[in-house]
Amino acid sequence: MKRLRSVAAVLGMLFALLLAGCTGLPTSGPIVAGAPIDQEAGAVDFSFLPDDPPPGATPQQIVAGFLAAGSGPRDDWGTARQFLAPDFRSSWQPTARATIDLPGERVYTVAGDGTVTVAITPEAAVDATGAMSVTDGGSMPLDFSLVEVEGEWRISNAPDGVVLDRARFQAVFREYSVMYFDRSWTYLVPDRRWFPATNAATHITEALIDGDPSPWLSGAVYSAFPESLELATRAVPLEGGVAQVPLSQSALAIVPETRNRMQAQLDASLQSAGIRGAQMSVDGEPVAAQAVDVRPIRVDVRPAVLTEDAFGFLSGSEIEPLPGLSAVLPGLWPESIQLGADRSTAAIRTSAGAVVRVRDDATSEIVDERTGLIDPTIDPQGFIWSVPSGEPSGLTATGPDGTVVSIANAWPGASQISSIEVSRDGTRIAALVRDGSRPALWIAGILRDDDGAPAGLGDRETVALLPGTGIDASWVDGSTIAVLAEDGDADVVISQSVGGFGEEIVAPAGPVAIAATNQLRAVRLLDGEGVLYAQKGQAWPTVAGGIRVLATQQGAPR
């Protein structure tokens, strides 16, 4: 049995005792300032305290206790190491891997030679860099060897890493963003990682300065930190809520523009842990830097819609037109619309099945007429991406000048594709595919040449396995995708973290399109009858009727 301890619980008991000894709370008198909150502590520390090995425990009990102790990272998993033989304690590496398994699914097999095998059903795994990957849910054996040490069973060999169910994993580890730049140095791009909640500033800073982007993303992003630069120490303390980042001597030779980009990456990465910012230093002396401005990826919170006779932003019962585009779009009979970030261009799929570029000067041109095209997507460079549903490898990107780039080796292994969506920063493309018999959400980094034109895709990564066929997808922000999918006789909306877990909610009946805004649990859905819904927590109130197309947005003008 594990005991959950928290600072908040202790304070609560003290407060209750104080109330019990008082006849009432004061309602008058001067305001007295309390003691300042310890800024080094960060968030309230909720931590599991696993049990030590009990005397006389059997081999199975020792292995079960060792696995349970994976929830206690204090003192470098000091409690878990007590279950290990002395010669093995320093060899075991708890941070090498974290496996998230389904609760109640562990099966123990004990052999007579002092070995125990535990069959688990993993749903995800986190590697030594903090990157999460999903698994197919099949059984996985873990082998443990045990020896007797002074009359007690202890583990002499075990797999590196810890094994936790999702609830305990999310209590021990937290999801953070390690931030990189896109290839134009315009946007910041999150690479989601999972680290122990203790010493978050150190984990994040090490990953950014001494590590690399996730392999699937690496070719799509840049880091301002030179490869020769290192952290001077393995600790990043907080002072006044600001991370103190000690760098090696080579930082002194870095030009101001690069230092300012480094500062932007550091500040944004640490903000994902609730840390106010960072101060770089060399030998204790501050390094001057001012974070560069980056382009935001927020969109207009109003839904962009097409009715029978108008296109624009829906405000109450009125539609605010977009200059140029609103005049030409209704007459092209679009089935889907995606607005470019500057709103001077839109990518549409017409009722005839063609993909068309529409400009705000009221001109348009067909960019793809292949059979079976799905809804197109447009990137910040103005390339319109299109692909036939039955030919995932036939992905193309057409530039503003009409140049067509065939994306080699796109989506290997996929037999069907139902949705593609380029991230608003232009570094990644998400796809709803069917891989054999299982539908999934995939993602890949977009490789570009020096002019920003697409040159290919990086390795694809499985973000999530879907409960049924994917219908549509839309980026919520830089690290979350809203997915509309079938689930048996119902449809669901999944808010899926790229590199994390997803949250699922039942959708209204008959949805055909989804459009995200800028936050979770606030997406819009359009059904086949033209009814527009807006998510409010777990509910789906009706916004409007008579909507032909629910458009998506790729950003907002600068």
Beta strand ranges found along 387-460 (DSSP E): 396-398, 404-406, 416-422, 428-435, 438-448, 454-457
First to last CA, the chain: 55
pLDDT at 48: 77
Which helix or strand (DSSP H or E) is residue 268 part of? helix 256-271
- C-alpha to C-alpha distances, 139 to 115, 136, 166, nearest whole angstrom: 19, 9, 17
Virtual CA dihedral for 257, 259, 264, 270, nearest 10 degrees? 180
Predicted structure pTM score: 0.90
CATH code given to domain 304-553: 2.120.10.30
DSSP secondary structure code for residue 393 in this structure: G
* Residue 463, both tokens: 């973000």
What's the CA gap between 22 and 4, in Å, rounded? 29
Pairing between β-strand 152-157 and β-strand 140-149 as defined by DSSP bridges: antiparallel
pLDDT at 10: 36
Give the count of beta carbons closer than 10 Å to the beta carbon of residue 163.
24
Q: Which amino acid is at 228?
A: S
* 523, 510 Cβ separation under 8 angstroms: no
The residues that bridge with 278 in the sheet, in sequence order, are 243
- C-alpha to C-alpha distances, 55 to 59, 60, 62, 83, 471, nearest whole angstrom: 12, 13, 10, 11, 56
pLDDT at 357: 98
The residue extents of the domains of the chain are: 59-160, 173-286, 304-553
* Residue 300, both tokens: 């207009």
Average pLDDT per consecutive 10 residues, the chain (558 residues; last block may be shorter): 37 37 40 38 58 97 97 94 98 97 95 93 96 90 97 98 96 97 98 94 97 97 97 95 97 97 98 96 97 97 96 96 96 98 98 98 97 98 98 98 96 97 98 92 98 97 96 98 97 98 96 95 95 95 97 96
Alpha helices in 325-423 (DSSP H): 325-328
pLDDT at 521: 84
* 83, 154 Cβ separation under 8 angstroms: yes
* 158, 147 Cβ separation under 8 angstroms: no
What's the CA gap between 272 and 261, in Å, rounded? 17
Domain 59-160 has CATH 3.10.450.50: yes
Beta strand ranges found along 130-169 (DSSP E): 132-134, 140-149, 152-157, 162-165
* 71, 61 Cβ separation under 8 angstroms: no
pLDDT at 35: 35
Virtual CA dihedral for 423, 225, 269, 218, nearest 10 degrees? 40
pLDDT at 356: 98
Which helix or strand (DSSP H or E) is residue 12 part of? helix 7-20
| 386-392: Cβ within 8 A, 24+ apart | 386/355, 387/417, 387/420, 389/416, 389/417, 389/418, 390/416, 392/416, 392/417, 392/431, 392/433
Alpha helices in 53-134 (DSSP H): 59-68, 74-81, 86-89
Helix/strand number for the chain, H first, E second = 8, 43
